[in-house]
Structure 1
């Protein structure tokens, strides 16, 4: 049993790293293509890669990963693509949060293992949409599950872009059952909602958490297809909008919209709370925040 578990965890962690490598290469290729407009004279952006580390309360090694961030590119104003594999014992606050979600055995055995990829992109051109994506696996001695999804966050909405983003995700989920896409879309609409603003932070996408059907291979395959949907859902939108002429009013709208993103991630996002509560690298956890934002 232990050997099989170790293999499953290693397989999941390796795939998250492979997806990270594919996305980084794709985004740098977008930067290499010449862009018109105010950012045309900038050099093509490149990711800066920094190892991250999680330390246990006693200072011992508890895993880590890679933080890959590109700043000030032709296309991306700031984009981060992080991968991590962390483990150890959950602290009291994290144990309580997990127990509240129905995870059994937290009081008696707080060990955990988690691995995943997390991505957030903030764009130079206000017409090109910001985006978020993550997939992850979590394990405790009494439970395991997968989670993740992606959602589109344009400050200037285009119906065609929204339709393409959702249709691509629906196509990738179709092999897993016709009822899955509507369920995960509705879950995203609920999860990425900002109660104190009475609005969604974007135009939605797909989201799942606590996925454990009892069939690890099937749930992992679903998680992989959520990840595989990301580049074909998103890159064509960037290509379509990267050279659109923008005005000062467009840029103002972008900065104000980014305020929504910052509010959501700091107040409601479960991943942000978990990362900070479990002692992961704070810079990596807060990578999702935009480089500049504005509030009215």
Structure 2
């Protein structure tokens, strides 16, 4: 049980013993330093910076633990950046042994201009159409997004290729905390005025992707439209009332005609019979009179 409890302590002591120790500045001017045990960093860095803003130069010193993005290898390197109204050049040295960054490097001197020009933004108008002349080792144009106070705006300018590489790994431009906070990874390009806000080209190394396309047989669905057949049966019903009425009228007319005919016939017949009877009576009377 005691062995189990002591294992984490042994591991912590072993990890601490194997971690790198670097000198770190205790104030903004780095007038004093103190040893610091690095967490995951594998390098120590010491740097001297010359920053120029609005024509005023301010030297700075920086010492701390450094990641592999800022210090990809041991040795000396020069990093530089230029914005509208701001320039910075820094001399840095990276090492990988305990307290190897205790030395303070001399302040770098301003560098002459080169042939590269990059677009930059005017702080007063926020227009990113003016250009800045790059200097010294600045061989890239870049574009990023910076937050200063409550304002967020694009930032464009010149940078050295090693500063672009460091910024891509860090997600920010190093040693520019006094200018503002970079909130997006800078995009760098190598030709004059290539860092336009509208035409900046980002080169991304995309892993090769294999796309498998499955050919699905085309299925044709035939829909037969059966017309709806409506059968209408029309029954011709004779108009009974009219027919019946006509028949009745016809029967009545016929009956009337027959009655009239019978009457007409009966009247002459009755008259003839009466005449005959009278004649018969006269003859009988004559006969009786003759015999008696």
TM-score using structure 1 length: 0.26
Q: Determine which structure has greater relative contact order: mean sequence separation of CA pairs < 8 Å that are 6+ residues apart, divided by chain length.
A: 1
Bigger helix fraction:
1
Q: Which has more strand, going by share of residues?
A: 2
TM-score of the aligned structures, taking structure 2 as reference length? 0.26
